[in-house]
């Protein structure tokens, strides 16, 4: 691109299986560019990590044309290549080259890549060169180069020898490195665990802990009081747990999150009868049960019997706590396992439910390949495995499972018999599509949903389907979803069967008509959401993103009511079922730790209302301006001075929610926005202040001081309605709704009755008002007395 990314032209790479994996530019001549191509192909089944098209190229005209520069580099099929130009001597170029079957070498050129000399047999390791292999040259010391690896490798002799960089208290799996040109001691490194910087050339490291960039594979929620917790299995950052909110003003901080289990975390599960019993796993089915009270971890992975083949588990193996018994678990390998004692004992309730195909006999790069080709066996996860399990909450023992090789299986008798469904028989679904998620309907035993994925063949379409006859036939419910939107996960509301949510590659969508139409939730990040969970007690939608942490939609119940009949009204008000009553804690010094101390916001405190306006509430000026705008190029008449005067003196229109107690006495008013659409507005559970307004206060200051700055109300039942104020006239525009204010928790000591406390606060408020009046009178008399004293 030569216009900042507005338009692009492909100048290198004309093969279906070959891309470009690295680029470096001569710092003294931007027309000289080096690029490394990489021939590779990963399918669901296998990974081919190299080919004859992997090579190094140089352009001398800013990328218009390219010359292949491979003289001196080993012939044959190659894998991933990293390149680096020396910033000190720009004719010197380094290359880290993956050779066949995880072998490799580091090369050096002193003539801009025209010829290469092998320096050593060094290659990145760990899960394989494909995951690392980036190369950087130091701008401070000639021939000092860095090779990305599990632990960063450093050479000070141009690649002839390498040592491991010091990485004490730092995460492994290095992927990116940056330097400060004016500080030879500084390093900035990006890893699987986030961002780190060193000011002493790697002797010590500082973790940048204010970036919410965790990649969540799967999530689960519990029923802990007073705030539920969220468990998340993450990419190389363990299984983590944190609260949905806190009772502190500052919000949710890093210190509120804990590690439950090491390694790559995957699907966690919680139990409805005990929030301290949690199931977690690391990659390929290594399942444990965690006792959160003692910290005890018990390994409970089902094992094959004597004489049986090795158990094949998916990279992200599915676990299910039965909706019919909290002690019953289902777990998927290539077959379904069942436990009735929380995983202490297991029995298989199926045979092999996959297609079981030999992966090395399947086409890759367009054809079947020789065993001598550059397969990277260690970079392949297990294949022919179960990926999703669901049990009908309506009918015990009715299970649906999906696999990574294109099958759906259904049993109505807890595994005695299974009905096999090839996914290509579903309308619009390609052969062997991967089952991302399958869900039994919460209300009807005959109904289920499935999300399928075919992106590893270049198909990014949303494959989202529904059956109403236990899988015999299916129909698409993708509705008006965008064409290139992979669907990862589906959850269903437990009250409204038509209200569904999906996590996709580009955000979260919902439908309230069973999938005919989908609406994107634009307040969340436009990134990949791999999992969703619903916390039923709080009616929260919890979403795990792959790279931006956890998001929560607090109390989504208004979506149940936002149907056509409701939206045809001019306005509407929806109250929360309850509002938690408690005194928020101060940070106790934690709000002064600087911007490096990450804190996510708590949800708004108090009673959170949702209201709807069919149209803007407009002022006279807005109405005139809108009418003039609609005239386009026509003449616009002068409105006249009288109308302009009315515009000037008109008070700004207002929308507000009025709060009443059970005796219909005014408690408070909360001002909202006047724009068309759906809005949320929180009342902080306080009375309006009855403090006297100072004469020298501005109007806005006086209003602000009086609104919701009084003492807290007592727990109990309250009412509310929506009203508008235009030209001083107040009109009610919604029905009156009721809600409860309930104590979040009770103290260790009984304490006084809430009503008595509230009455005392009211009396104290009146006393403070009287005291303020007395203070004003005293100050006035004192001024007069001072003036008389001066006069005398």
The mean pLDDT value for 12-31 works out to 95
- In this structure, is residue 66 part of a structural domain? yes
Report CA-CA distances (Å) from 654 to 617, 687, 710, 730, 734.
8, 20, 22, 9, 15
**CA-based nearest residue to 574, from 539, 602, 536, 542:** 539
To 5 degrees, how large is the angle CA 737–CA 741–CA 742? 140
Give the pairing of strands 500-504 and 487-492.
Answer: antiparallel
The mean pLDDT value for 311-325 works out to 99
pLDDT band with cut points at 50, 70 and 90 for residue 453: very high
**CA-based nearest residue to 142, from 157, 153, 152:** 157
Q: How far is it, in rounded angstroms, from Cα 724 to Cα 617?
A: 8
The mean pLDDT value for 648-675 works out to 96
Cβ neighbours of residue 494 closer than 8 Å, sequence gap 6 or more = 442, 534, 536
User: How does pLDDT run across 85-116, given as a tens digit for each residue?
Assistant: 999 999 999 999 999 889 999 999 999 999 99
Q: How far apart are the first and last CA of the chain?
A: 86
- In this structure, is residue 745 part of a structural domain? yes
- In this structure, is residue 726 part of a structural domain? yes
The mean pLDDT value for 238-256 works out to 95
Q: How far is it, in rounded angstroms, from Cα 428 to Cα 384?
A: 22
Residue 590 has pLDDT above 90, yes or no: no
Residue 765 belongs to domain spanning: 590-614+653-772
To 5 degrees, how large is the angle CA 228–CA 233–CA 239? 80
Q: Which of 158-162, 621-625, 759-763 shows the lowest mean pLDDT across its residues? A: 759-763
Question: Sign of the C-alpha dihedral, residues 456, 461, 466, 472?
Answer: negative
**CA-based nearest residue to 94, from 60, 59, 63, 120:** 120
**CA-based nearest residue to 228, from 550, 599, 536, 583:** 536
Mean pLDDT across the chain, nearest whole number? 95
Residue 555 has pLDDT above 60, yes or no: yes
The more confident residue out of 700 and 211 is 211
Per-residue pLDDT at 773: 86
To 5 degrees, how large is the angle CA 733–CA 739–CA 742? 150
- Residue pointed to by tokens 């000639």: 142
Per-residue pLDDT at 689: 82
pLDDT band with cut points at 50, 70 and 90 for residue 751: confident
Q: In what order do the strands lie in the sheet with 448-454?
A: 434-440, 448-454, 459-467, 475-476
Q: How far is it, in rounded angstroms, from Cα 721 to Cα 734?
A: 6
User: How does pLDDT run across 604-618, given as a tens digit for each residue?
Assistant: 999 999 999 999 999
**Length of the chain measured in residues:** 792
Q: What are phi and psi of 561, to 5 degrees?
A: -100, -15
- Residue pointed to by tokens 């006393």: 767
- Residue pointed to by tokens 């998916």: 314
Question: In the numeric block, which tokens belong to residue 520?
Answer: 């994107």
Domain C-terminal end among 165, 194, 211: 165
Residue 588 has pLDDT above 80, yes or no: no
- In this structure, is residue 68 part of a structural domain? yes
To 5 degrees, how large is the angle CA 549–CA 553–CA 557? 160
Report CA-CA distances (Å) from 434 to 267, 377, 516, 541.
17, 20, 24, 25
Q: Which of 65-69, 369-373, 621-625, 750-754 shows the lowest mean pLDDT across its residues? A: 750-754
- CATH number, domain of 42, equals 2.130.10.10
Residue 776 has pLDDT above 90, yes or no: no
pTM: 0.95
Percentage of residues in the chain with pLDDT exceeding 70? 97
Report CA-CA distances (Å) from 304 to 285, 363, 373, 690.
13, 30, 32, 73
Q: How far is it, in rounded angstroms, from Cα 499 to Cα 478?
A: 14
Give the pairing of strands 269-271 and 274-282.
Answer: antiparallel
**CA-based nearest residue to 543, from 555, 529, 556:** 529
What is the count of structural domains for the chain?
Answer: 2
Domain C-terminal end among 108, 140, 165: 165
Are 562 and 611 a contacting pair, CB within 8 Å?
no
For residue 437, the Cα-to-chain-centroid distance in whole angstroms is 17
Spell out the long-range contacts of 159-163 with Cβ–Cβ below 8 A and sequence spacing 24 or more: 159/94, 159/96, 159/106, 159/107, 159/108, 159/119, 159/120, 159/122, 160/119, 160/120, 161/120, 162/106, 162/120, 162/122
Per-residue pLDDT at 707: 60
Per-residue pLDDT at 766: 85
Residue 705 has pLDDT above 90, yes or no: no
- CATH number, domain of 733, equals 2.60.40.4070
Residue-wise DSSP of 664-720: --EEEEEEE--SSEEEEEEE-SBPPP-PPPPTTS-HHHHHHHHSS-SPBPPSEEEEE
Domain C-terminal end among 121, 142, 165: 165
Counting beta carbons within 10 angstroms of the beta carbon of residue 368, is it exposed (0 to 12), middle (13 to 18) or buried (19 or more)? exposed
pLDDT band with cut points at 50, 70 and 90 for residue 698: low
- In this structure, is residue 532 part of a structural domain? no
Residue 592 has pLDDT above 90, yes or no: no
Cβ neighbours of residue 293 closer than 8 Å, sequence gap 6 or more = 276
Are 175 and 126 a contacting pair, CB within 8 Å?
no
**CA-based nearest residue to 470, from 517, 404, 533, 420:** 420
Per-residue pLDDT at 407: 99
- In this structure, is residue 716 part of a structural domain? yes
Are 327 and 320 a contacting pair, CB within 8 Å?
no
Per-residue pLDDT at 596: 81
- In this structure, is residue 531 part of a structural domain? no
Per-residue pLDDT at 214: 96
For residue 580, the Cα-to-chain-centroid distance in whole angstroms is 26
Q: How far is it, in rounded angstroms, from Cα 727 to Cα 791?
A: 49
Per-residue pLDDT at 505: 98
Q: H or E stretch including 356? A: none
- In this structure, is residue 487 part of a structural domain? no
User: How does pLDDT run across 486-544, given as a tens digit for each residue?
Assistant: 999 999 999 999 999 999 999 999 999 999 999 999 877 899 999 999 999 999 999 99
- Residue pointed to by tokens 């916390």: 535
User: How does pLDDT run across 104-160, given as a tens digit for each residue?
Assistant: 999 999 999 999 999 999 999 998 999 999 999 999 999 999 999 999 999 999 999
User: How does pLDDT run across 339-357, given as a tens digit for each residue?
Assistant: 999 999 999 999 999 999 9
Q: Which of 89-98, 653-662, 773-782 shows the lowest mean pLDDT across its residues? A: 773-782
Q: How far is it, in rounded angstroms, from Cα 193 to Cα 197?
A: 13
**CA-based nearest residue to 405, from 391, 418, 422, 419:** 422
791: preceding bond cis by omega (within 30 degrees): no
Per-residue pLDDT at 725: 96
Question: In the numeric block, which tokens belong to residue 707?
Answer: 């609104």
**CA-based nearest residue to 443, from 321, 559, 323:** 323
Q: How far is it, in rounded angstroms, from Cα 474 to Cα 477?
A: 9
Question: In the numeric block, which tokens belong to residue 136?
Answer: 């950087």
Residue 479 has pLDDT above 80, yes or no: yes
pLDDT band with cut points at 50, 70 and 90 for residue 697: low
């Amino acid at each position: 691109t030569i216009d900042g990314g507005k338009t692009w032209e492909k100048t290198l790479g004309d093969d279906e299986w070959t891309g470009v994996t690295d680029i470096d530019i001569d710092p003294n001549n931007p027309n000289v560019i080096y690029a490394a191509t990489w021939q590779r192909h990963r399918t669901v089944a296998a990974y081919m990590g190299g080919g004859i098209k992997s090579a190094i190229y140089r352009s001398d005209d800013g990328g218009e044309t390219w010359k292949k520069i491979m003289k001196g580099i080993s012939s044959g099929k190659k894998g991933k290549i990293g390149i680096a130009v020396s910033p000190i001597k720009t004719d010197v170029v380094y290359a880290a080259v993956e050779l066949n079957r995880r072998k490799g070498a580091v090369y050096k050129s002193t003539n801009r890549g025209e010829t290469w000399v092998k320096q050593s047999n060094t290659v990145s390791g760990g899960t394989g060169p494909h995951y690392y292999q980036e190369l950087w040259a130091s701008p401070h010391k000639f021939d000092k180069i860095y090779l990305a690896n599990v632990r960063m490798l450093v050479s000070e002799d141009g690649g002839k020898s390498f040592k491991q960089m010091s990485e004490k208290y730092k995460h492994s799996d290095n992927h990116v490195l940056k330097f400060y040109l004016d500080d030879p001691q500084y390093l900035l490194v990006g890893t699987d665990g986030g961002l780190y910087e060193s000011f002493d050339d790697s002797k010590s490291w500082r973790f940048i802990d204010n970036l919410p960039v965790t990649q969540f594979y799967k999530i689960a929620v519990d029923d802990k009081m007073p705030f539920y917790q969220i468990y998340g299995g993450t990419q190389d950052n363990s299984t983590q747990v944190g609260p949905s909110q806190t009772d502190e003003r500052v919000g949710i901080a890093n210190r509120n999150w804990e590690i439950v289990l090491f390694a790559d975390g995957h699907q966690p599960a919680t139990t409805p009868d005990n929030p301290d019993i949690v199931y977690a796993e690391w990659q390929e089915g290594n399942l444990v049960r965690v006792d959160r009270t003692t910290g005890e971890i018990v390994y409970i992975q089902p094992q094959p019997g004597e004489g049986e083949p090795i158990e094949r588990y998916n990279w992200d193996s599915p676990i299910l706590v039965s909706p019919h018994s909290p002690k019953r678990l289902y777990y998927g390998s290539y077959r379904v396992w069942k436990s009735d004692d929380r995983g202490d004992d297991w029995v298989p309730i199926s045979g092999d439910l996959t297609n079981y195909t030999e992966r090395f006999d399947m086409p890759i790069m367009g054809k079947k390949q020789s065993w001598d080709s550059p397969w990277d066996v260690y970079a392949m996860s297990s294949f022919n495995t179960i990926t999703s399990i669901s049990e009908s909450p309506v009918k015990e023992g009715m299970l649906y499972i999906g696999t990574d090789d294109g099958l759906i299986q259904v049993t109505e008798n807890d595994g005695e018999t299974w009905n096999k469904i090839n996914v290509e028989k579903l309308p619009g679904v390609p052969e062997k599509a991967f089952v991302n998620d399958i869900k039994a309907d919460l209300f009807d035993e005959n109904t289920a949903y499935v999300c399928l994925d075919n992106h590893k063949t270049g198909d990014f379409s949303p494959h989202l389907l529904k059956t109403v006859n236990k899988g015999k036939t299916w129909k698409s419910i993708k509705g008006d979803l965008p064409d290139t939107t992979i669907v990862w996960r589906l959850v269903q509301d437990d009250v409204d069967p038509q209200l569904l949510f999906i996590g996709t590659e580009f955000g979260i969508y919902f439908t309230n008509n069973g999938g005919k139409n989908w609406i994107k939730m634009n307040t969340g990040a436009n990134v990949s959401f791999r999992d969703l969970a619903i916390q039923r007690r709080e009616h929260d939608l919890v979403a795990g993103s792959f790279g931006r942490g956890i998001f929560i939609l607090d109390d989504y119940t208004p979506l149940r009511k936002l149907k056509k009949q409701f939206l045809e009204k001019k306005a509407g008000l929806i109250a929360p079922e309850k509002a938690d009553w408690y005194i928020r804690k101060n940070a106790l010094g934690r709000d002064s730790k600087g911007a490096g101390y990450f804190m996510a916001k708590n949800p708004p405190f108090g009673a959170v209302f949702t209201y709807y306006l069919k149209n803007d509430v407009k002022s006279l000026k807005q109405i005139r301006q809108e009418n003039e705008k609609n005239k386009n190029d026509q003449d616009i008449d002068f409105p006249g001075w009288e109308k302009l005067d009315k515009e000037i003196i008109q008070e700004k229109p207002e929308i507000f929610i009025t709060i009443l107690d059970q005796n219909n006495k005014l408690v408070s008013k909360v001002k909202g926005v006047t724009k068309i659409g759906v809005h949320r507005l929180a009342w902080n559970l306080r009375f309006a202040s009855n403090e006297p307004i100072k004469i020298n206060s501005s109007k806005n200051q006086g209003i602000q001081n009086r609104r919701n700055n009084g003492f807290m109300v007592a727990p109990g039942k309250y009412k509310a309605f929506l009203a508008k104020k235009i030209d001083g006239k107040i009109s009610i525009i919604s029905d009156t709704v009721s809600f409860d204010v309930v104590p979040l928790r009770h103290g260790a000591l009984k304490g006084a009755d809430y009503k008595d406390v509230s009455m005392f606060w009211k009396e104290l408020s009146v006393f403070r008002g009287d005291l303020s009046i007395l203070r004003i009178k005293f100050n006035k008399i004192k001024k007069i007395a001072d003036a008389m004293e001066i006069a005398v």
